[in-house]
Structure 1
Amino acid sequence: MSVEERQAIAGRVMALRELMYEVVDSRSPLVPEPLRPGFQAALRDLDDRRAFEEVVAALQPPDIEEALDRVGLLGQQLALKLTVIDWAWDRADGAWRLAQQAGSPEEPEAEDAAAFDAADPPGESDPGRRARWRRARKLLAKVLKIIDDLFASLIKAIPGVGEPIVEAKQALESVLDR
């Protein structure tokens, strides 16, 4: 594994950390307010465990090259995975910026309210802003889903590495994909 390939994977792993913090800490309709403290605690726990750094460090030993090649984390296969992640991130980032420019809707999402009744949903207020935030949420969820491919390959090559990150990431993905 070349230094550039290690740096590319490490860069995406640390970018995932930053993305998760930005989404969770954002005072916006991305994460319902009652769930925010739990996600913040989970991210702090990952940092306390040095989970992201553990993934990066696991890429260092030279004897893992065969395992990484077997799961598609070298050469053209790695380049393709990283290109797809970057492509999805660019789309999600663009949608997120448009939503931020529009501002948060005046009221939280009806579905996020404790009293929400799916059989009798309230009328839509502020549909333009809500549509922008829904698109941003969906595209951010898609980025997290695409990153699963990278982490699934890492876990196959280096058993156990990154599993706590995947658990927190999938929970965040579920909340965004609502």
Structure 2
Amino acid sequence: MSLADRNRLAEGILPLRQLLLNIVNDPNLFPANGQHLRSQFRTALDQLDAVGAFPEVIEALRLNDASSPRALVLDAALEQVGLTGQQLELKLEVVNWTRTRAFRAWDIALQRSPGVESEDDTGFDESQLGPDPEDDPDYDAGDHPDGSDPARHYRWRRARKLLAKLLKAIDDIFGSFISAIPNVGELIIEIKGALESLLDR
């Protein structure tokens, strides 16, 4: 694999930490009865930072000496799982396409939440959020409780599901070379997978 291809992979990993952090920091993306998990996810992300997980993965990809033993092992692993040439281009395009749809749905949900005064203001008033009806195991989709906003809940459900799809699309690339970068990479995948499960409910 060329250094240019490895750099492109590294650039794709750079935003992953911020994406995970942004999702964890947005209370709308969590089930109302699972808010206690947000602090646990923050702690898990702090632990990834403490061991330098993301920089280590990026450094492994950006090895400049293509003839070093570590670079040769990494290149062989990446080539074996098809992360070269046109296959790499396709997977990166799928991630970009999925990211565009997910971020657009997230923006729409933010812009139309209570407390938002204009499309340029993406803040919201947490006191007006209320529980998501779907957190109730007896919830009937055809019978919305008084005072609820079915359209708002639908927008946030759509944003959650598209973000879960984005995390899965990232797996098509990141999961492919995880065996070549053990330990810290596996920690990132585990936390990402747990967050993905929470969103795709």
The structure with the larger Rg is 2
Structure 2 residue aligned with 1:38:
40
Question: Could you state the TM-score of these two structures normalised by the residue count of structure 1?
Answer: 0.88
For this pair of structures, how many residues does the alignment match? Answer: 173
Relative to structure 1, the CA distance from residue 126 to residue 160 in structure 2 (aligned partners, 3 Å threshold; closer, same or farther) is same
Shift of the alpha carbon at 1:14?
Answer: 1.4
Structure 1 residue aligned with 2:23:
23
Mapped partners of 1:24, 1:153: distance in 2: 25
Cα pair 1:99 1:129 within 8 Å, conserved:
yes
Mapped partners of 1:167, 1:72: distance in 2: 23
Structure 1 residue aligned with 2:9:
9
Shift of the alpha carbon at 1:149?
Answer: 1.6
Task: Tell me the SS of whatever aligns to 1:76.
Answer: helix
Task: Tell me the SS of whatever aligns to 1:103.
Answer: coil
Please show how residues 90-109 of structure 1 align to structure 2 within 5 Å.
90-103=100-113, 106-109=129-132
Question: CA-to-partner distance for each residue in 1:107-131, whole Å, 9 max, x for gaps?
Answer: 121344xxx3x23557341011111
Please show how residues 129-140 of structure 1 align to structure 2 within 5 Å.
129-140=152-163
Structure 2 residue aligned with 1:54:
56
Question: Could you state the TM-score of these two structures normalised by the residue count of structure 2?
Answer: 0.79
Shift of the alpha carbon at 1:70?
Answer: 0.9
Write out the 4+ residue segments of structure 1 that deviate beyond 3 Å after TM superposition: 119-122, 156-161
Structure 2 residue aligned with 1:164:
187
Task: Tell me the SS of whatever aligns to 2:129.
Answer: coil
Mapped partners of 1:37, 1:160: distance in 2: 23
Mapped partners of 1:74, 1:169: distance in 2: 24
Name the aligned partner's letter for residue 99 of structure 2. Answer: W
Mapped partners of 2:37, 2:23: distance in 1: 12
Task: Tell me the SS of whatever aligns to 1:88.
Answer: helix
Relative to structure 1, the CA distance from residue 71 to residue 120 in structure 2 (aligned partners, 3 Å threshold; closer, same or farther) is closer
Shift of the alpha carbon at 1:57?
Answer: 1.7
- CA-atom RMSD, angstroms? 1.9
Shift of the alpha carbon at 1:3?
Answer: 3.1
Runs of 5+ consecutive residues of structure 1 not aligned to the other structure = none
Task: Indicate which of 153, 172, 176 corresponds to 1:149.
Answer: 172
Identity of aligned residues (%): 49
Mapped partners of 2:17, 2:181: distance in 1: 19
Cα pair 1:30 1:137 within 8 Å, conserved:
yes
Mapped partners of 1:120, 1:172: distance in 2: 23
Mapped partners of 2:174, 2:17: distance in 1: 13
